[in-house]
A and B are shown apart, each in its own frame.
Chain A
Amino acid sequence: MAILDLTAKSSGLIRCPVCALVTPSPENHPCPRCATPLHARKPSSLQKTWALTMAAALLYIPANIFPIMTVVQMGQGEPKTILAGVASLIETGMWPLAMIVFIASVVVPLGKIVILIYLLVSVHVGLKTYIKERIALYRLMEVFGHWSMVDIFLVTLLTTLVKMGALATIEPNRGVSFFGAVVVLTIFAARTFDPRLIWDSAHDHG
């Protein structure tokens, strides 16, 4: 068993990301079983993840400045941003809903961006401690990442349902597009990050 106290990469092997076959393949050759191009580590993982994370962080600003929907009741109402929407849910006493929307639209995307930046920086500086904790953060991000889509689905459902003419209407606003872009970018960013780099950098630098 001693011979196996190492990683696939340090043994000159590559694990296929799709079918999990472990082969002594050269870099960028197709997997013998499923033809997926093989790489010991996701190619340019750090650069791509930085680019996608920064793009998501930038777009998160217009996603919050622009309103996402307008609720008009009895001729009254004005466009509301994500945070104003949460505030109005609290005002009407809908605490659980306010929590769900706040977590899905603020905590999850911001948390993802912060976690990604922390993981990227920790790999760059070759941090040797908190490996298990960083892996736990990575897994957390994978599990909860796509729940920020709730707000997008909510806007589509509300705008389709509430078309009651003079009594009540709900209309979508431009912020939805920006927020959708943030969600997609953070999902791509989490997928281009290679968690094996956390272990690699902890061992290479020492």
Chain B
Amino acid sequence: MVSHGIWVVGPERVLFACHECDWLHRMPPLPEGAVARCRRCGAVLASSRPDHLVRTLTLTFATLVLFTIVNAFPLLELKLGGRETSVTLLSGAVELGHHGMWDVVILVLLTSLLFPILHCVALLYVLMPMVMGYKPPGAVWMFRVAHSISPWGMIGVYMLGVLVAFVKLSDMATVVPGVAVYALAALLFCSTAAGNALDCCDIWRRIGEVDDGHP
């Protein structure tokens, strides 16, 4: 029987297939904080997260605010022989363009700036109205966008790059970590926590419920 666009087997049980091995499960409603694992391969199928909408919304909003701070201040400053230079998220990405390496510029811009910001914006677009009790137009499309770009955001890797650059350069000059480094660390914490709080299954269920005109 089909109810709310979800294939339901028996009372209160939803048919679920493992994303890694395709094994079928009949999923009962999960108690709060519970994690469901695949019986065959052990992959995490779903988890129930209390208050996930408000938590994810708050953390995603914090991530976006921190992004503006990261962009407004230098990550690292270098002092050598009376000269000073600094690097920001944007100036670092664009620098290789002066050497004609636009392919690398695009790669760095997308993975360290555009995809992470777009991911936040798409999540906010879906979550904010949902917390207030209605579904925004194009929610399905926006949530699909968020899903497909999330593996391409590489803020964590970027942070490691900043740390390596810091240690490497402190050998030859005075390096001062800028405000943006601390903001970037906080951003990393918030975006990871937001990712952990997000319950995609529940959001799809809500979007699906409203889209019940489908067969």
* From A15, A104, A132, A180, contact of B19 by CB (8 A): A15
Interface string of A163-206 (1 = CB under 8 A from B): 11101100110101100110010010001000110111000000
Q: Which residue of B lies closest to A179 (CB)?
A: B104
The answer to whether B37 has its CB under 8 Å from any CB of chain A is no
A167 surroundings in chain B (CB, below 8 A): 80-81, 83
Q: Which residue of A lies closest to B75 (CB)?
A: A157
The stretch of A3-11, A50-58, A59-67, A117-125 in contact with B is A3-11
- Contact across chains for B158 and A153 when beta carbons are under 8 A apart: yes
Interface string of B68-86 (1 = CB under 8 A from A): 0000000110101101011
- Contact across chains for B92 and A160 when beta carbons are under 8 A apart: yes
- Contact across chains for A195 and B21 when beta carbons are under 8 A apart: yes
Give the CA-CA distance A181 to B152 in the complex, in Å.
14
Most chain A CB within a 10 A radius of its CB, from B83, B95, B112: B95
B147 surroundings in chain A (CB, below 8 A): 18
User: What total of chain B residues lie within 8 Å of the partner, measured CB to CB?
Assistant: 67
- Contact across chains for A153 and B83 when beta carbons are under 8 A apart: no
- Contact across chains for B17 and A168 when beta carbons are under 8 A apart: no
User: What total of chain A residues lie within 8 Å of the partner, measured CB to CB?
Assistant: 69
- Contact across chains for B165 and A157 when beta carbons are under 8 A apart: yes
Q: Given A7-B24, A191-B151, answer yes or no on A149-B85 (Cβ-Cβ < 8 Å).
A: no
- Contact across chains for B157 and A149 when beta carbons are under 8 A apart: yes
* From B21, B23, B207, contact of A33 by CB (8 A): B207
The answer to whether B6 has its CB under 8 Å from any CB of chain A is yes
Q: For the complex formed, measure the closest distance between the CB of B13 and the CB atoms of chain A, giving whole angstroms.
A: 10
- Contact across chains for B7 and A158 when beta carbons are under 8 A apart: no
Give the CA-CA distance A9 to B169 in the complex, in Å.
54
- Contact across chains for B103 and A177 when beta carbons are under 8 A apart: yes
Give the CA-CA distance A155 to B162 in the complex, in Å.
10
- Contact across chains for A150 and B104 when beta carbons are under 8 A apart: no
The answer to whether B132 has its CB under 8 Å from any CB of chain A is no
A36 surroundings in chain B (CB, below 8 A): 144
B164 surroundings in chain A (CB, below 8 A): 97, 100-101, 150, 154
Give the CA-CA distance A180 to B81 in the complex, in Å.
33
* From B15, B81, B107, B208, contact of A19 by CB (8 A): B208
The answer to whether B51 has its CB under 8 Å from any CB of chain A is no
Q: Which residue of A lies closest to B26 (CB)?
A: A4
Give the CA-CA distance A11 to B172 in the complex, in Å.
64
- Contact across chains for A146 and B6 when beta carbons are under 8 A apart: no
A sample of 10 cross-chain residue pairs with beta-carbon separation below 8 angstroms, ordered by A number, consists of: A4-B25, A20-B16, A149-B157, A149-B158, A153-B92, A158-B168, A160-B92, A161-B165, A164-B81, A199-B40
What is B's interface to A at a CB cutoff of 8 Å? 5-7, 15-17, 19-26, 40-41, 75-76, 78, 80-81, 83, 85-87, 91-93, 95-96, 99, 101, 103-104, 107-108, 111-112, 140, 143-144, 147-148, 151-152, 154, 157-158, 160-162, 164-165, 167-169, 171-173, 200-201, 204, 207-208, 211, 214-215
What is A's interface to B at a CB cutoff of 8 Å? 1, 4, 6-9, 11, 13, 15, 17-24, 32-36, 73, 89, 92, 94, 96-97, 100-101, 104, 132, 135, 138, 146-147, 149-150, 152-165, 167-168, 171-172, 174, 176-177, 180-181, 184, 187, 191, 195-196, 198-200
**Lowest 6 CB-CB distances: which A-B pairs, in order?**
A153-B161, A15-B17, A8-B17, A7-B22, A160-B95, A19-B204
Given A21-B7, A167-B83: 10 more A-B contacts, CB < 8 Å:
A8-B24, A9-B22, A22-B16, A94-B167, A153-B92, A153-B158, A155-B104, A156-B104, A167-B80, A177-B104
